[in-house]
Amino acid sequence: EAQVTQNPRYLITVTGKKLTVTCSQNMNHEYMSWYRQDPGLGLRQIYYSMNVEVTDKGDVPEGYKVSRKEKRNFPLILESPSPNQTSLYFCASSPSGRAPYNEQFFGPGTRLTVL
């Protein structure tokens, strides 16, 4: 089944404890992206990757890191999480990051709480 998977789905952690949220897609998509979703703020892009070894900052990259060493995986790293990073996180992929590829496939989401 073609899909985007994220792990973990739920995580409660404490301030400063490094964590990684994994994202994997099995559709051979070039483009992958991370979003955070907060009430009333919609989907805000954190980082995106147009292809392997190519990553760029989105609108809210502070406090996050990413890497794209292989096509299928795009992990999101929080080196020192803070309470303002408590949010719902979505990973998404698409065959390409360029027009006209506007259909993105989203993972199920990771709900992160930082205490």
Partner 1 sequence: GQSLEQPSEVTAVEGAIVQINCTYQTSGFYGLSWYQQHDGGAPTFLSYNALDGLEETGRFSSFLSRSDSYGYLLLQELQMKDSASYFCAVRDSGNTPLVFGKGTRLSVIA
Geometric angle at alpha carbon 4, from 106 and 85, rounded to 5°: 60
* Nearer Cβ to partner 1 (14/94): 94
* Nearer Cβ to partner 1 (42/62): 42
d(CA 44, CA 36) in angstroms, rounded, equals: 5
- Asked if 28 contacts 90 with a C-beta cutoff of 8 angstroms, the reply is no
* Nearer Cβ to partner 1 (14/41): 41
* Nearer Cβ to partner 1 (46/78): 46
- Asked if 34 contacts 66 with a C-beta cutoff of 8 angstroms, the reply is yes
Nearest-approach distance from CB 103 to partner 1, in angstroms: 4
Nearest-approach distance from CB 21 to partner 1, in angstroms: 14
Binding site for partner 1 (CB under 8 A): 33, 35, 40-45, 48, 58-59, 90, 92, 97-100, 102-109
Residue 90, beta-bridge partner list: 35
Nearest-approach distance from CB 78 to partner 1, in angstroms: 21
Task: Give every CB contact of residue 62 below 8 A, 6+ residues apart in sequence.
Answer: none
d(CA 21, CA 65) in angstroms, rounded, equals: 11
Nearest-approach distance from CB 68 to partner 1, in angstroms: 14
